Structure 1
Amino acid sequence: MALKSLQRAKSRLAPLLTAGQRAGLVEAMAGDVLAMLTSHRQVGEVYVISDDPAAHELAQRYGATVIAESDLQLSGLNGLLTSASTQLRADNTTPLLVLHADLPLLRESDLSAVLAALADADVVIGADTAGQGTNLLALAEHVEPEYHFGEGSFQRHRRWATQAGLRQVPLERPGIGLDIDEPDDLASLLACEHIGEQSARWLRDSGVAAHFSPAPELDWQQLHDTVTSGCTPEASQALALADYDDLPAMVSLAGTVRDQGYGNVITYSRKVFIPLTKLCRDVCHYCTFAQTPSKLEQVFMPVEEVLELCRQGAAQGCQEALFTLGEKPELRYKAAREALAEMGFSTTLEYVREVASRVLAETGLLPHINAGCMTAEEIAALREVSASMGIMLESASERLCEQGMPHFGSPDKIPAVRLETMSLAGEAGVPFTSGILIGIGETRRERIESLLALRRIHERHGHLQEVIIQNFRAKEGTLMSQAPEPDLADLLWTIAAARLVFGADMSIQAPPNLSPGVLPQLVAAGINDWGGVSPLTPDHVNPEAPWPHLQELARETAAAGKFLDQRLTIYPAYIRDAERWLAPGMFGPVMQQCDAAGYARRDSWVPGEERPVPDVDAELLRETPSQIAPSHDIRAIVARAVAGEALLVAEVTQLFEVRGADFSHVVQAADTLRATQVGEEVTYTVNRNINYTNVCYFKCQFCAFSKGKQSENLRGRPYDISGEEIARRCIEAWDRGAGEVCMQGGIHPDYTGQTYLDIIATVRSATPDMHIHAFSPLEVWQGAATLNLPVADYLRKLKASGLDTLPGTAAEILHDDVRAILCPDKLNSGQWLEVMEAAHEVGLRSTATIMYGHIESPQHWAHHLLAVRDLQQRTGGFTEFVPLPFVHMEAPMYLKGRARKGPTFREAVLMHAVARLVFAGLIDNIQTSWVKMGEAGVGACLDAGANDLGGTLMNESITRAAGSGHGQEWAPQHMENQIERAGRVPRMRTTLYRKPRVEQRMKAFNAPALGPAVNEGAGKRERSKLIPTINIQADAGTDQVYLMAACD
C-alpha cells in the first residue's frame, strides 16, 4: 500500500475540506485498511511505501513494515510499486496484494473474496464504483506484476492480463469499489451504513458528517410551529434551510418572529467611530481598512485626538465610542512596536485600555471595543473600561482560510481561534457582538453552520447580544475587487435565516449604509437593529458607504411600519442584569445614560429642571388618531383598561414599555378617558409645605433632603424647627390664602408618637380651620411603635387630635426587591399598605404616590400600581395618585453611581397616562408635580391623563434638596395661567376636592410676599413642637392644657 504525504493528499477535496481535514480523513481511512489487513488470518506481511513521518507512525502502530519511497529506484506510483514488488519477490515468491489506502468500506469479507478468487486465477482486478479505475490488484506467486494505475486503469490492467495470457477475475464489490477522491465520493460515503470504525469516528467528530450529510427535506410547517412557539429550531431543521428557496415565506415568518421579540421598535446606537490603528497582522483579501506603515501618517491615533473626537460626538448626542483596530500589529510591524514603546506600552491592547479609560472618564461615552482575538487576561483588562466588546466570526468555514481563499494568510481569521475568543468573553461576562460576512466564497450551508456555531456559544454563556449580517462590498485595490457582491435576495435570505435560527430574542442587525434604498425590505426580513450610526465619523471599514442621515433612517424605518429608537452599546437585557454583565466601574456610567427599560436616554431632559419637551416625544404627542397605527396587543390592553377591567402585571408592564405609535395611542387613550371621567377642569390647591426636620436615622439611598450635601442652597445644616416656628408658618400660610398645610420630615431619633400629636396640637392652636395633611406612613408606623400602640389605634389618636388626611409618601416603589436596595430599613411594601388601609378604615383619606426613575424597572411600576389599585378597590380611601419623578442631582445613590437620572420624559408622561388607565373608575384624580416636571412637562402630562396640579407649595425643600430648580411656589395666578395655556379650565380646590372658602381664595390671589423661614439648628435633643403649655397633675384627668398664642 502506497501512501502520499498526508498533508498533500486528496487535493480534489479542497473545495470541501481543509488541508488538515483532508489529512485526518486519509489517516482514518488508511487506519481502517491497515487494521483489517493486519488482523486478517490469510495476510502474512503488510508493507507501506511512504516517506511521510506521519505515514511511518501509522504503519508502525499496526505492525506494518515501512518501505521508504526514497530508497526505491523508480518513481511515480507505478514505478514505486514495481520497485517494491521486485524487492519483496527477491526474497519470497508469495502471492501479492496491492491496494489503495482510501477504501473506508473495505471489510474482511471483501478481502476473503479476493483471496478465494485468486485461488483459481492468476490475477484479480478490483474495480472502482464506476468501473473505470483499479482499486485493488491481487497476483498469484508466479505472476510478474505490471502496474497500470491511473486514468482508465481497470481496462488497462485487463488488457495486460489478456496479453500476458493470465487467468483474470474482474471483481466488483462495494467495499472495494468506493475510493474517496471527489466531493461526490464523500457524499456517497456519508450515505453508506457500514463505514470503517476509524473513518466513521473521524467523520462524526470532525463535523464533516454533519456538514456534508444530505440535509433532510425541510418540513416548513414544523419549522413554522417551532419558531412561532418561542423555540429555536434543531440544528437539522436549521441546516435544511440551506436548500429552501421560498424567500417570501421565509421573510414573512422571520418578520413575525421578530415582532414577537421586538414589537414595533427598531434600534440603533449613536456612535463615534475610532480607528485607533489601521495596522494589522492579517491580510484579508477584501479589506481596505488595514494599511502598511508607509501609507500612514501616524501609527496610532494619539489619545488627545481621540478625546477631541469623542467630545464632538458627545455634543452631537453620541453615547458610544466604537474602538476598531487591526489585530496585534506589533507582532508584524516594527513601526508599531516602536510607537507603542515610545508611549510607554508593550502591546496594542494596553494602549486600547488606556484610551478607553480616558474616553469614559473625560467624555462619558461608553466604549465598545473590537480588538480582535484575545486571551482571557486581555478580555478581563478591557472589561473594566468598556460596556461591550465584539469580534465578527465572519465564517466558521475553515475552507475560507485555504490558499486562494479570502482568509489565507490571516492567522486571526481561523474560526476556532475566533470562537475561542468569544467563548472566553462569555466566561468573563462580557456583552458581546458577533456576526457573519456573506458573499466571500461561502455556501449557504456554511452560513447556517456559522450561525449555529454562534448559537452554540450563546447557549453556553448567554452573552451574544446581537448578530450582524454584513454583506460583502467589493473594494478597489483589494484581491477581491472583482468578486461579485451578494444580491438583495441573497441578503434577505440570510437575514431571514438568521432570525429563524436564533428566534425572537436575539438582536439581528444589518448595517444600513451597505444597503441604501432598500432598508424597509431589510426590516421586513427580520432585523430589529441598524447597529452603530455616526453623525460625525465615517465608516472606516466601508468608507465608500456613508451613513444615512438619522432623520432619513427614521423615515425609512417608519416606512416599514416601525419606530426608530436609540439604544446604548450594551443592550437593554444586559443592563437589566448589570451586576452580571458590567464591571463595577461601568455601572454608574451606564446608569447615567439609560432609561428604565435599558434603552438610551436620547435627550437631556431630567426632572427638576425647566427644559423643553424633547423633539421625538413632542412629535409623538402631536400625532392625531388618524396618524397612529398601534399594535394589536396594545390596542386590546388599552380597551380592557378603559372598560375598568383589572390588568395583569405583564399587561401593565407592556403599557409602560410602549414606544412610537403605541406610546401615542396610550397617551391619547388616557387623555380621552380623563375627559370622560372628570371633564376639562384642572384643579389645584393653595397650601404650604412644612418640613419640620431634616434629621433622619433611616438610610434611604435616594434622599438628599436628610442626607444630601451640606451646601448652602440645598440641604444646609441639620435643623429641627420649634413649635413656635410651625405655628408662625401656619398663620402666615392662612393669611396668604392656604387651606392646607402638608407636613412631613425626617425620622428624628428623638421623635415619638407624641411628637406628631404635639405638631397637630400646635397647628390646631395656631390655625383652627387649617386642613392638616400630615405624616407619611413611615412616621405613623414609627410613632405607633414608640407608643407601643397598634397602628390603627394610633391613627385614631391622630384623627381625634385634628389630623385630616395623610400624604401617601414613603411608598417609593411598592416592591420589596427594590426597597431592599432603595430603603432597606424602611417600611416594606406590606407595611405601607397596612398603614394606608388602617387609615382608610378609621376615616382618614390619603393620597397615593410613586417615586420612580432610579433603580427600578417598568415591571416594578406595574406591581406598584396594581397594589394601589387593589387597596383602593377595597377601601376607596385614596383621593388622588401622585407620580413623583426621582430628582437625581444630589441624591446619594446617584452620586455613588448606583442610579439613573430620574425617568426620561417619555417615562414621566407614561406614568400619568398608564395610571389613568389602570385606575379607571377607582381613582379619578391623577396629579402631575410641577415641582418635578416643570412647565413644559406639566403641559404634556395634562394631555396624558392628568387633571390636577397639586399644591402651590409656599415652601418646598425636599425636591430642592435633591437639586431641583423648582419648588418655591407657583402662585394661584401662575397655576391658572398654566392651566389655561393647556386649553383647560382651572379650579381651586381643597385637599378633599371641595370648593375653598371665598375669603381664602381672595387672600390667595392677593398674597403678600412670603417671609423668611427659620430653620433652627438641630440640638442634641428634639426641639419642642408645642406652643408653651402648663402641665396639670394626672389626677385632674388631663395630660396638658394648650395656651392659645396671642396672635390667634
Structure 2
Amino acid sequence: MLNISALRDLEQTPFADLLRQAAALRDAGHGRRISYSRKVFIPLTKLCRDVCHYCTFAETPKPGVPAYLSIDAVLRIAEQGRRAGCHEALFTLGDKPEARYAAARDALAALGHDSTLSYLAEAAGAVLDKTGLLPHLNPGVMTKAEMAMLRPVSASMGMMLESAADRLCERGGPHFGSPDKAPSVRLQTIEAAGELAIPFTTGILIGIGETRAERIDALRRIGELHERHGHIQEVIVQNFRAKPGTKLAGADEPDLQELLWTIAAARIILGPEMNIQAPPNLTPDFYGTLVGSGLNDWGGVSPVTPDHVNPEAPWPEIEALAKATAATGHLLVERLTIYPAYARDPQRWLDARVRPAMLLMSDAEGLARTENWAPGLPISETALADFNRTPYLAAVDRTIARAVDQATAARRLDTTDIMRLFQARDRDFRHVCEAADTLRRETVGDVVRYAVNRNINYTNICYFRCTFCAFSKGKTHDDLRGKPYDLALDEIARRVTEAWERGATEVCMQGGIHPDYTGQTYIDICHAVKRAVPDMHIHAFSPLEISQGAATLGIGVSEFLQRLRDAGLGTLPGTAAESLDDAVRAIICPDKISAGEWLNVIEAAHKVGIRTTSTIMFGHVEGLDSWALHLLALRDLQERSGGFTEFVPLPFVAMEAPVFRKGGARRGPTLREAVLMHAVSRLALHGQIANIQTSWVKMGETGVRLCLQSGANDLGGTLMNESISRAAGTQHGQELPPPAMRALIRSVGRIPQQRDTLYRPVDAERETAAENPADLAPLILTAPNDPQALSRRSA
C-alpha cells in the first residue's frame, strides 16, 4: 500500500499512464472478470437521525406512512427478488432513527423491539430462513456487540466511510449535524467488523468538498484496516450526484476525469487483489471508460427494485451491461454478496446459520450458481439454452490458449494452469471443450464404447462415517432409503448368472465396510462368482476395502491383492478416491484411508498386474485447487505404473447426502463445471490416460451428450442394478440397456461399440445375449441376521 508521499507521484503521473497502470494491476489480480451481484433492495426504514446535506433517502415521519416495513412486506420484496434470480437481499436503512423520532420508538415497540437493529435482525433472519437469499446489511454505525448480534443473519455488512476528513463534519460541511458521519466513529465500526470476521463493504464518496489528498487518506485508512483483518471485501468509489431538495442541490458534481482518477488511485493504493467498485447507474454512458480505470466490480444490480439511495439513476439491463463489459475484452460474472475469496472459507467468514444458504448458491469458485441443475436431475431446456448461449467475448484468453496448447502437446500442466482451465467461461469455455474434443478424436477416434455389466453391492452396512454417502447404513439402522442388508453368497451367484444370461461380461462389486468382514470375505466372493460363471470378469473392491481386508488378515496389501487375483479378481475400481486432497478428506471422509494410502493401494495393484480405473467425486466442499491436485496425482501415478484403464468423473449427487442435508456442502457441480471436468481431464491427462468416461447415472442423457462433445469417449456400463447414486437421489434410473446406449452414442454422430472391462471388443455371442435380455428377477436382500449372510459366514 502506498504511503502519503506517494500522493505526489499520483498527481504527477500522466493521466493516461495512471489509468494503464491501474488497469494492469486489476488484470493481474482479477484477469478478465468484472463481477456484479444480482440483488433486491429492501428499505427497512427511511427514517434516520442524521441530516446529510446530499441525501434524499432519509425521510421524516409522515402520518399514515409506516415507519418500518412489516415482516410480510419485507418477505414479499425478497420473494420477488428470489423469483427474478437474485441471490442477495440488501437491507438499506437510516442510522438509529429511534434516537431522534418518537414515531420510530413507538413503531418499534409495536413490533416488539427496542431498537432498529433488533428489528433488522428479525427481518434479515426471516429473509434468510424463508427465501434463502443472503442478507447484506447497511444499517450505518454499529457497536461491536450490535454487529455480533447481526452476524448470524447476514452474509456481509457494509458502511461507506465516505471521507476521513473531520472538517466535513464542521458547520457548513455536508456532514454537519450527522453524528454518525464522524470519521473516527465510522472507522471504529469497520475495525469491529474485522475483529468479528465479517466480510465488509466500504468506500468513499467523492465530490462533497473533499480534496484529493483527503480521498487518498481515506483509502489508506481503509487499506490499513484490511491489512490488520483481511475483511474489506470491496471498496466503492461513488461519485456525488446533486439531488433536488437537498442543501447540495446546486453543487457541482465531480466530472468523469475526477472519478476515473480516483478509481485508478484506489486500485494503485489498495493493490491488485482488492475489489474496486463504481456504481454503473451513476455513470451510465461510460461503462468501457470506467473499466479502463481499474475497477473489477459493478456492485449490486437489481432486476426488480430501484436504487433507493439514487432513485433518479435506473439500473442498467444486465444483458446490456454484459455486452458493454465484453466490448472492453472483459467478462461479466455474477457473484454473491460475499465475494469468492470469503465464500471459499465459510468456516471463518460466515456464521453457521448462513453457510447452508451460501453453499446452496455457490459454485466451486465461490461465485454465484446461476442455473437450477444439479447432478442426478434432468437438464431443463432453459438450462441447456443458457449453456449453449453465444459467447460475449470475441477472443480466447491468452493464458487459456497457452495452457491448452501445452496440454495438447502432452506436456504436464502445473496446478495453476489446470485451475485456470477450470475457471474457463464464455469463449474460453468453448475453446477448452472444443480442444478437448479435437484431442479425443485424435487420440481414440470416434468410437464410443460401453460395457454390459451388473452392479452388485453386497452390503450397505458400513462402520465408516463418510458425510457424502447416502448408501451405507448402520448395522441395525433403518432409514428412508431402506433396511440394512448383507447378501448371501447364493444371492451373489444368482445375480452373476442372471447377468451373464443378459449379455454381461463384468460384475462390478463394492459394498460398505462391514465391521465383520475380513479379507477372506472378499476372497469368498470372488470364488462364488467364478463358480457361478467362470468367464465373468470380476471388477471389484475399492482401495478402502483392499486396505481393510489386508489388515484383517494381518498381511500386506500386495500379498492380499495377489490372493484376490488368484481367486479370480480381474480389475479394481478406482473408487473411494473422492478427493485426493487430505484437507478435503478430513471433512467428507475423515476416517477413510488418506490420499497417499489410496495411491499406494492402486500402485500396488498395478505392480501385481491388476489394472484399475480412476475416479474423482467433485462438487461438494472442495475447490479448483483440489481438482488440480487430484488430476496431477493420477497423471503422475500413471506415468510410473501405467495401470489405469480410464478416468471417471463422478459429479456429487447431493439430494440425500448427509453433508448436504445438514447444509455443509454445495449441490454438486454446476453444468459448466461438470462438463469442464471431462474436458480438462482429457487435456490434463493427455499422454497418460486415454479413456475419459462420462456417467449417464449422474449426468443423464442430455449431460452425456455434452460430455461426449467435450472430450469424453466412454459411457461405462449398463449397470443393471445401480443403487449408490440412486440412494443419493439421482433420477436417471438403474439400467441403460445396449439399444439405448447405442442410440445415445449415435445421437452425437459417433460409433457405438460394446467392450469388455479392458477395452477389448466382445464376441458376437455376448452382443446377441445383451440385445433382448429378460426382465431382472426381484432382488433378494439378505438380512444381517440371516445365517447365510456374508458377515455370519465369515464370523
Q: Same fold (TM over 0.5)?
A: yes
What pairs up with 1:702-741 in 2 under 5 angstroms? 702-707=468-473, 715-741=481-507
- Following superposition of structure 1 onto structure 2, how do residues 576-725 of structure 1 map, counting pairs within 5 Å? 576-612=344-380, 615=383, 618-619=386-387, 628-707=394-473, 715-725=481-491
SS in 1 for 2:354: helix
Shift of 1:571: 0.9
1:772 and 2:538 correspond: yes
Asked if 1:518 is matched to 2:286, the reply is yes
Give the corresponding residue for 2:247. 479
1:276 has 2:69 as partner? no
SS in structure 2 opposite 1:839? Answer: helix
Larger RCO, structure (CA 8 Å, separation 6 or more): 2
- Does the CA contact (< 8 Å) of 1:724 and 1:1025 recur in 2? no
CA distance in 2: counterparts of 1:529 and 1:904, whole angstroms: 23
Post-superposition CA distance 1:839-871 (Å, at most 9, x none): 111111110000111111111111111111111
Instruction: Give the counterpart letter for 2:695 in structure 1.
Output: S
For the pair 1:843 / 2:609, whether they are aligned, the reply is yes
User: Cα distance 1:593–1:623, how it changes in 2: closer, same or farther (>3 A)?
Assistant: closer
Partner of 2:56: 288
Look up the equivalent residue of 1:233 and give its one-letter code: L
Q: What secondary structure is seen at the aligned counterpart in 2 of 1:293?
A: coil
Alpha carbons 2:619, 2:666 under 8 Å: kept: yes
* Alignment map for 1:449-598 (pairs within 5 Å): 449-598=217-366
Task: Tell me how far 1:577 sits from its aligned partner.
Answer: 2.0
Match of 2:107 in 1: 339
Give the aligned residue type for 2:110.
Answer: E
Q: CA deviation at 1:658?
A: 2.5
SS in 2 for 1:701: coil
**In the alignment, residue 597 of structure 2 is paired with which amino acid?**
Q
1:625-661 per-residue CA deviation (whole Å, 9 max, x = no partner) reads: xx75222222212211111111222222222223333
Q: CA deviation at 1:713?
A: 10
Paired residue for 2:620? 854
Structure 2 vs 1, CA of residues 621 and 313 (structure 1 numbering), >3 Å: closer, same or farther? closer
Residue of 306, 313, 327 corresponding to 2:74: 306
Q: Out of 561, 580, 587, which is 1:795 matched to?
A: 561
**Residue matched to 1:813:** 579
Amino acid at match of 1:288: T
Give the Cα–Cα distance (whole angstroms) in 2 for the partners of residues 295 and 971 of structure 1.
72
- Alpha-carbon distance in structure 1 between the residues aligned to 2:480 and 2:61: 57
Q: Using the alignment, how far apart are the partners of 2:408 and 2:235 within structure 1?
A: 40
Q: Which amino acid aligns with 2:3?
A: E
Q: CA deviation at 1:830?
A: 1.1
Choose the corresponding residue for 2:713, options 928, 947, 953.
947
The 3-state SS of whatever aligns with 1:741 is strand
Between stretches 346-355 and 541-550, larger displacement belongs to: 541-550
Deviation digits for residues 240-282 of structure 1 (CA, Å, limit 9, x no counterpart): 2552362211111111110111111111111110000000001
Contact 1:714–1:962 (CA under 8 A) maintained in structure 2: no
Equivalent-residue separation in structure 1 for 2:512 and 2:381 (angstroms): 34
Q: Which runs of 4+ in 1 moved over 4 A?
A: 613-624, 707-714
| Partner deviation per Cα, 1:790-822 (whole Å, 9 max, x = no partner) | 111111111111111110000011111111221
Which of 170, 184, 188 is the matching residue for 1:402? 170
Q: Name the amino acid aligned to 1:636.
A: R
Q: Any residues of structure 2 matched to 1:226-375 within 5 Å, and which? A: 232-237=1-6, 239-241=7-9, 243-244=11-12, 246-294=14-62, 297-375=65-143
Rounded Cα–Cα distance in structure 1 between residues aligned with 2:753 and 2:604: 31
Question: 1:125-159, CA deviations, whole angstroms, 9 ceiling, x for partnerless residues?
Answer: xxxxxxxxxxxxxxxxxxxxxxxxxxxxxxxxxxx
SS in 1 for 2:298: strand
Number of the residue aligned with 1:159: none
Q: Residues of 2 paired with 1:250 and 1:534: CA distance? A: 32
- Matched residue of 1:584: which SS? coil
Instruction: Establish whether residue 384 from structure 1 lines up as the match of residue 184 from structure 2.
Output: no
- Give the C-alpha shift of residue 1019 in structure 1: 2.1
Q: Contact 1:270 / 1:534 at 8 angstroms: preserved in 2?
A: yes
Q: Distance in 2 between matches of 1:400 and 1:709?
A: 71
Quote the Cα distance in structure 1 between the aligned partners of 2:384 and 2:463: 43
Structure 2 partner of 1:902 = 668
The one-character-per-residue Cα deviations of 1:935-986 (angstroms, maximum 9, x if unpaired) are 2211111121111111111111100111111241111121122122222222
CA contact (8 A) 1:613 1:936 kept: no
Question: Shift of the alpha carbon at 1:513?
Answer: 1.2
Counterpart-to-counterpart distance in 1, 2:657 and 2:603 = 30
Instruction: Provide closer, same or farther for how the CA distance between residues 733 and 703 of structure 1 changes in structure 2, counting only shifts above 3 A.
Output: same
Secondary structure at 1:804 match in 2 = strand
Are the aligned partners of 1:846 and 1:878 in contact in 2 as well (CA < 8 Å)?
A: yes
Q: Deviations over 1:287-314 (max 9, x none)?
A: 1100011277111000011112111211
Q: Give distance in 2, aligned partners of 1:612 and 1:986.
A: 26
2:206 equivalent to 1:435: no
Question: What is the aligned-residue identity percentage?
Answer: 58
Within 5 Å, give how 1:842-921 maps onto structure 2: 842-921=608-687
DSSP-derived class of the 1:793 partner:
helix
The change in CA–CA distance for 1:702 and 1:486 in structure 2 (over 3 A counts) is same
Gap regions ≥5 residues in structure 1:
1-231, 1030-1048
Report how far residue 619 of structure 1 moved.
5.0
Task: After TM superposition, give the deviation of residue 615 of structure 1 in Å.
Answer: 4.8
Amino acid at match of 1:437: L
Supply the distance in 1 between the matched residues of 2:439 and 2:385 (Cα, whole angstroms).
21
Contact 2:158 2:201 in 1 (8 A): yes
Give the Å deviation of 1:351.
Answer: 0.1
Seen in structure 2, the aligned counterparts of structure 1 residues 927 and 713 have a Cα distance that, compared at 3 Å, is farther
Q: Are 1:270 and 1:533, in contact at CA under 8 Å, matched by a contact in 2? A: yes
Compared CA separation, residues 731 and 1021, structure 1 to 2 (3 A):
closer
Name stretches of at least 5 consecutive residues in structure 2 with no aligned partner: none
Which secondary structure state, in structure 2, belongs to the residue aligned with residue 369 of structure 1?
strand
**One-letter code of the match for 2:93?**
L
Displacement of 1:1008? 2.1
Q: 1:783 to 1:429 in 2, by over 3 A?
A: same
Is contact 2:617–2:650 with CA below 8 Å preserved after alignment?
A: yes
Cα distance in structure 2, aligned partners of 1:344 and 1:616: 48
CA distance, structure 2, for counterparts of residue 836 and residue 243 of structure 1? 62
CA offset digits 1:209-256 (Å, max 9, x no partner): xxxxxxxxxxxxxxxxxxxxxxx333321x225523622111111111
Question: Contact (CA 8 Å) 2:27, 2:272: kept in 1 or not?
Answer: yes
Q: Secondary structure at the match of 2:217?
A: helix
Deviation at 1:373, TM superposition (A): 0.3
Aligned mates of 1:710, 1:245 — CA distance in 2: 75
When normalised by structure 2's length, the TM-score is: 0.97
Q: Assess, with a 3 A threshold, how the Cα gap between structure 1 residues 330 and 803 changes in structure 2: closer, same or farther.
A: same
CA RMSD of aligned residues (A): 2.0
Shift of 1:664: 2.2
CA deviation vs aligned residue, 1:11-35 (integer Å, no higher than 9, x gap): xxxxxxxxxxxxxxxxxxxxxxxxx
